[in-house]
Structure 1
């Protein structure tokens, strides 16, 4: 099957960037925290990386200028789009499925000559709902803060049209109600354009996240409710898991690439774990990916036990297996300093045996008299999710028979 032209062009640019440096795949892979075989697949066009971050770091490492990096990113975008499966055509909606919207209840307007609405016996003024606050010169439903008739945004139990009330006849009660509602909503009704609260300045660092990593680029475990397709290439793991509705089984590997926005150093003070939801693991089957292990580097490695009441990210030794003789990379604790030209790679291994856990990372930073915390989640902003696999049936993939078979038949254990 011929390769797509967009993928070929992207691979050509990656090879050109690598050629600027002259170092081997193993040497560059050690700096980029990817295996030599993975980097070779990018250069050959066999795989398009899931995110552009690793290729951009390669370009910076090899001395590419801003224009070359921009061209490389544009080429990656085209190649990534070409490798995505086409979206299915939407099914036509049957005519009878269209909901019949009833006409809103007709409520007569208040007679201009009627007396104001009496106050309750308790003496407390009744406050209209925030979606019907009366504003001088504006009818309810004319702008933000109101619900337009037929828009479907009204609260349950109220007709979408609501009761229409004219400002000139509301009197003291209407004015007091509007003031109380304005205070409740945190909005001050003043002539002219309302002032927006000042937005906090952006943090002086940027980061990218990859969460569908495989241990040493060769194996991973997923939980899925139904039998999934055959195992994907590691670079396509996220798309495969999304299509199969699979979640990480037993362990999630998260790589956070952090760098400053400029030449000034940003100090990374600490990394914390926040579990936002716990539950029992789903009664799904376990599917193990096996792709053959290659060399890998795991710098700045952290382990998290999600089964603990208050999980902590603990620094651990890394391991460099890219050479003929592997070597241990000693654990280094916080703080770290990053700049635009000197990024850091944080590899977090979060494990659980008994929990279906949703969680975030929180990274503390300080720079030039300022400090703050950024919350880091999955690529789409949602929390990471890791689920235990104890007691679940396990399967491995038989590449010859092209079928999932039980782990005992495939010779896998764990």
Structure 2
């Protein structure tokens, strides 16, 4: 498998999306010329993350994502070894399975050893060049096989086994149970049979309930400290969340399991939380969060990171898609400071600062708060997720769980779903793009 075949699939996805190289490059935080080289087969990305993000922007299916990753692994394996046919054949053999890959690697070793000339054996010692060549090729072959295996395993774990659309790690009530392990250790999600509708976080050393919640969001905080550093002190910051903020009305869509005759007209942004709750709506394609962090005193608190935690993934909801904007009405909005995006379809979603924006850490105090804007997008899955904010202040440090009033946020892909819009001055929802009734 060469870089050419990898580039062919990239070009196919790009052309199908209808987006220009410039538009894609801006969203991917890379130069247009670099994207051109990837799509032309002149270069292979050293990291798969931008490749996956490009595929998602182009609305690639789960099967296409797996195939693209396979081609990237194989193209990456032969990078820098284009002049050695045997080694390229060894990498291509991985597509047939481990047995084929191992055979190809052995053949490549044999051919490379012959190219080096007669093997000199002196006092039972092999030529050092042959041993280094064999070891490098075997390690490369094993690494490629392991990467292919991990993709297959990830797909098996994330794709739904039934038609419920529920992902792993969700309790009987559709809500996860989350336990923080204290400072310096990671938190984990586990399935719970409890019907409790809230996420919880605790610290192993000491914890105190703090944090501030907006009417549509919540935060649960835990803190820990070094001995003698005031372990029982309250968490020195508050977090307020708006999970149903809008960049602009035209960009916001919701999936609802109701027909257009059962859905109220689109609300204004301030009324969105109540409208969403009334209809059981789920953010479609994209969810925009506004997270405000403020210190509780004069001391400076460092916001070290904001981590995405995935609770579960399932098939996109087969519901109707309702647009909040009115046809014919201009929409638009600038990108605010402290703006981040996250690809929820990724195996390990992570916040990425928008082009030109600073990344974590940030400092906050009572007089100097910070506001973070997070755009989370999903196309291939229905994703349940939450955020975990890590902070530190002197010898103390801890985490704050950010969710939707004790429940995980939920964002679902909407590709292929029936689209409806509400004409300005109209009285009912109608199919998107249809002419308004006279």
TM superposition score category, shorter chain reference: 0.3 to 0.5
Structure ID, larger Rg: 1
Whose helix fraction is larger, Structure 1's or Structure 2's?
A: 2
TM-score by length of 2: 0.44
TM-score by length of 1: 0.47
